[in-house]
Amino acid sequence: MKINRLLSIIGMVCLLHTIPLKGQDQFTLSGYLKDATNGEALIGATIKVKDLNTGNVSNVYGFYSITLPKGNYEIDYRYVGYQPTTRQVTLTENVRFNVELKTSEQQLQEVVISGKAANDHVSNIEMSTEELEIKSIQKMPAFAGEVDVIRSIQLLPGVSTVGEGAAGFNVRGGSVGQNLVLLDEAPVYQSSHLMGFFSVFNPDAVKDVKLYKGGIPAKYGGRLSSILDIRMKEGNSKEYDISGGIGTVFSRFAVEGPIKKDKASFIVAGRRSYADVIAKLFTDALDDNTSLYFYDLTAKTNFNINENNRIYLSGYWGRDVLGFAENQGFDWGNRTASFRWNHLFSEKLFSNLTMFYSNYDYGFKFGDKDDLFQVGSEVSTVNIKPEFNWFVNTNNEITFGGEAILYLFKPGTLIDVSAGDETNSSLEKRRALESGIYVSNDQKVTERLRLQYGLRLSYFGYLGGTVYQYGDTIPGATKPILNEYKYRKWGAIADFWNPAPRLSFVYQLTPAASIKGSYNRMNQYIHLISNTTATTPIDVWQPSTNNVAPQSADQVALGYFQNLANNQYELSAEAYHKWMYNQVDYIDGADVFVNKYLESQLLSGRGRAYGLELYAKRNTGKLNGWISYTLGWTEMKVDGINYGSDLETRKGRWYPTRYDQRHNVKLTAFYELNERITFSANFAYISGTPTTFPTDRITVGGYVIPYVNNNGRNNYRIPDYHRLDLGMTINNVWRGKKGRSGEDNIAISVYNAYARQNPFSIYFSQEKGRPSPATPVTTNANQVSIIGTVVPAISYNFKF
């Protein structure tokens, strides 16, 4: 069936469900829900019409809209952690009604780990979706005493990492490059500071963290495994706030407040580590030209032009610097800038126009001005994205929109200076254009059944430059170059069109139990090139080309969701299966470092990931938290890899990927001793990840040369990973007491409490000092552990 027919059918279905009943006067109640204390929008707050058993939830900007017949109604506004408010509304015309909810004092005095409606876990159509309140993240024990967004989501089911010191995260067996990380809708290409120990997101500036593992809405595209959508605070529109913290590794400082009360506000938050400053006080090993630090600055402002228009400006600037001398070192960093314009065309039609710029680059250099070696890489993105929410009636909400993305890749700059003579061996810049349109409908079919269905159509064009054409060879060998020629600058060397249908449902068995299911197809047009054990800052992004096809994946999921004890407990079980196509792997010995003919060494194959996620959570009370268990398999099949004795065709066999983790257990617990002291703990157990060990060896001249046979890809697993972290938060240490305004706390944490030496990788070395040449050569396996000791930390945090 043609794409335009699919879009037409979905549009007709959506339209049919929007026609009101004949003879009924329909009016719309709409507005914004905000925090009465600081004016921040409340995302996902519930609005219910009493006696009608209908309602809606606020969107990511706090906007809601409900269309009802003419009459008098009692409207209930709720958000967990806030005092519910009930208002009487008479609908004889369209009504704009903004509501500010006050924080519940009772909720302030206990740990609450869910900011949604009490039964949202069961009734919401979203599945395979995790959301963390920043207040919960701030209470978790953390490495070096510093709370972290990325490390926090790794405690959720289906999310993991290949080890300490690995940048990014893995979702349901996918690679780091298959996750789309968004900060106020701008993509962040490298989400880690300090080689993966900290994320680039300042918790003082973060409001909401949402992770989609499956059932991904049609408005998202571009990655196979997940969408991590991080929303920044708008800034306090009521009064000025100053907050920050002094920790073991870095310090934070943030200021926010109104530019004009209830009309415009801002927030600026910054961090800077000081490992190099402290180290220089105790050792002479770090001279004046040595640097070892990271920093980031996050800023945002918004202005309410009138009741129908609001604009937002936000930006992020961050960098890691590892300098060894004046002209020697390594650095990398992100920059993003976003402009957003909210506009209300009517009480039913909400729009948001986003334009953003995102950049990631790295570079390292060694030597001096006469003898210098300098390498770098960069990727930049410019995007425009209009999106619309049409609140048709209480049973239908249609979302539609599009986006256009222009990519600029600098896959490798290489400059070599020898005796003052410069040689520039940099790779050619690459350009690409990605665009997409989408439409979806969230439909309440009956009191028990709700559907969300839609379609995303995407286009990708690899734009002019040098075209490389390779010949065929046996699988697993370097392809021969046949031809290379120049193509016009903005012409499409290769282009791709791909549809991506989406479907989700929720069927409520009882008010406290439901069954949910979802299907989504995802397409990914840019690839993270890395053949190291773990993702590093020097990995390179490359576009799909005439030689490298886009990746795609189909995922289905089915789950059972249950609430117990008046919604105090949440239980869920989800099974998922993901089929992946055009997955990128490498020939043995591939050279991915500034390689003009890199594509000749890339292989393409299939992947599959499937498993079961079990989850139990207690939302409120003195003792609360969650426990999860994931049973999962992740495998690939690539011709030229793992082909055994089939030397003629080299047809590949299934082998586990680096992210295949059979068992994954996570436990997070909070205990409120009293109003001032809260204890917390995290425990993680993860099965050992696959790695490749030599299968045979030969000895030449007294030296061992190991090699791997044709069945050896990821043929062994490193030992299991497990770790316990402990934490304690003491509130109102100085501020908040009688006569002092504001609040503060001391956070004490113990990371890796029983000093587990978790393996990151294992390598082999030859034992030295043989008694005689006739003595057999002995090789030893050596384990590399990034952290093998207890890491205590303390930090002081304040807000006033």
What are the backbone dihedrals phi and psi of residue 80, each rounded to the nearest 5 degrees, phi first? Answer: -60, 135
The structure tokens listed for 658 are 């680096």
What are the backbone dihedrals phi and psi of residue 687, each rounded to the nearest 5 degrees, phi first? Answer: -60, 150
The structure tokens listed for 338 are 């976003």
Give the separation between CA 736 and CA 740, rounded to whole angstroms: 5
Do residues 132 and 111 make contact, with C-beta atoms less than 8 angstroms apart? no
Residue located via tokens 């992770």: 211
pLDDT value, residue 287: 62
Q: What is the largest CA-CA distance in the chain?
A: 102
Cα angle 220, 66, 32 (rounded to 5 degrees) comes to 70
Per-run averaged pLDDT (10 residues), the chain, 800 residues: 50 49 73 91 88 85 91 88 88 90 59 55 90 80 80 90 79 92 93 84 90 94 94 92 89 94 94 76 62 91 94 95 80 94 94 96 83 89 96 93 96 85 87 96 94 97 92 87 90 94 96 95 93 75 94 97 90 96 87 87 93 93 92 93 81 90 94 90 92 80 74 85 92 69 86 90 75 69 84 89
The structure tokens listed for 60 are 């990511």
pLDDT value, residue 772: 60
Do residues 266 and 259 make contact, with C-beta atoms less than 8 angstroms apart? yes
Side-chain half-sphere exposure of 680, counting CA atoms within 13 A? 27
Give the separation between CA 562 and CA 62, rounded to whole angstroms: 27
Give the separation between CA 558 and CA 661, rounded to whole angstroms: 21
Q: Taking the mean position of all CA atoms in its chain, how far away is CA 238? A: 31
Side-chain half-sphere exposure of 514, counting CA atoms within 13 A? 23
pLDDT value, residue 111: 40
Pairing relationship of beta strands 186-187 and 26-35 according to DSSP bridges:
unpaired
Give the separation between CA 142 and CA 750, rounded to whole angstroms: 8
For 285: left if phi > 0, alpha if psi spans -120 to 50, otherwise beta; the answer is alpha
**Which distant-in-sequence residues (6+ apart) come within 8 Å of 411 by Cβ?**
377, 427, 430, 540, 541, 542, 594, 598
**One-character DSSP codes across 101-167:** EPBPHHHHTS-----S-TTHHHH-S--SEEEEEHHHHTTS--GGG---HHHHHTTSTTEE-SSTT--
Do residues 628 and 665 make contact, with C-beta atoms less than 8 angstroms apart? yes
Do residues 710 and 644 make contact, with C-beta atoms less than 8 angstroms apart? yes
Give the separation between CA 587 and CA 603, rounded to whole angstroms: 7
The structure tokens listed for 437 are 């349109």
Do residues 711 and 644 make contact, with C-beta atoms less than 8 angstroms apart? yes
Cα angle 12, 17, 18 (rounded to 5 degrees) comes to 100
**One-character DSSP codes across 523-536:** EE-EEEE--SSS--
Identify which of 503, 409, 402, 516 has the alpha carbon closest to the alpha carbon of residue 457: 402
Do residues 207 and 134 make contact, with C-beta atoms less than 8 angstroms apart? yes
pLDDT value, residue 11: 52
**One-character DSSP codes across 168-189:** S-EETT--GGGEEEEETTEE-S
Give the separation between CA 749 and CA 145, rounded to whole angstroms: 6
**One-character DSSP codes across 35-56:** ETTT--B-TT-EEEETTTTEEE
453-to-7, 212, 394, 499, 506 alpha-carbon distances in Å: 12, 16, 17, 14, 12
pLDDT value, residue 298: 96
CB atoms within 10 A of CB 453: 19
pLDDT value, residue 108: 39
pLDDT value, residue 280: 63
Q: What pTM was estimated for this model as a whole? A: 0.90
pLDDT value, residue 16: 47
Pairing relationship of beta strands 99-101 and 26-35 according to DSSP bridges:
parallel
